Amino acid sequence: MEPSETDWTATPASPVSANARQAALIRQNNLTKPPGSLGQLEVCAVQLAALQDTDAPTTRPAYIGIFAADHGVAAEGVSAFPAEVTGEMVRNFSRGGAAISVMAEHLDAQLEVISLGLVNDPGELDRVVRLDLGPGTANLLNEPAMTEFQLASSLDAGRHVAEKVVQTQSQLFIGGEMGIGNTTSASALACAFLALPPEQLTGSGTGLDKAGVEHKLHVIEQALNRHSSVLQQGPPLAVLRHLGGFEIAGLVGAYIGCAQMGKPVLVDGFIASVAALAAVRINPSINPWLFYSHCSAEPGHQHVLAALNSTPLLNLGMRLGEGSGAAVAVLVLEAACQLHNNMATFSEAGVSGGSD
Q: Return the closest-CA partner of residue 268 out of 212, 312, 306.
A: 312
Indicate the length of the chain as a whole number. 356
Which helix H or strand E contains 67, and what residues bound it? strand 62-69
Residue 260 makes CB contacts below 8 A (sequence gap 6+) with 11, 12, 13, 14, 162, 286
CB 135 within 8 A of CB 70: yes
Q: Is 35 helix (H, G, I), strand (E, B) or coil?
A: coil
Q: Is 142 helix (H, G, I), strand (E, B) or coil?
A: coil
Residue 333 makes CB contacts below 8 A (sequence gap 6+) with 44, 48, 59, 172, 266, 291, 313
Q: Return the closest-CA partner of residue 141 out of 65, 71, 42, 235.
A: 71
Determine if residue 4 is left, alpha or beta; phi over 0 gives left, psi from -120 to 50 gives alpha, anything else beta: beta
d(CA 269, CA 299): 11
Type of residue at 311: T
Residues classed as catalytic = 322
Please count the CA atoms within 13 angstroms of the CA of 275 that sit on its side-chain side: 34
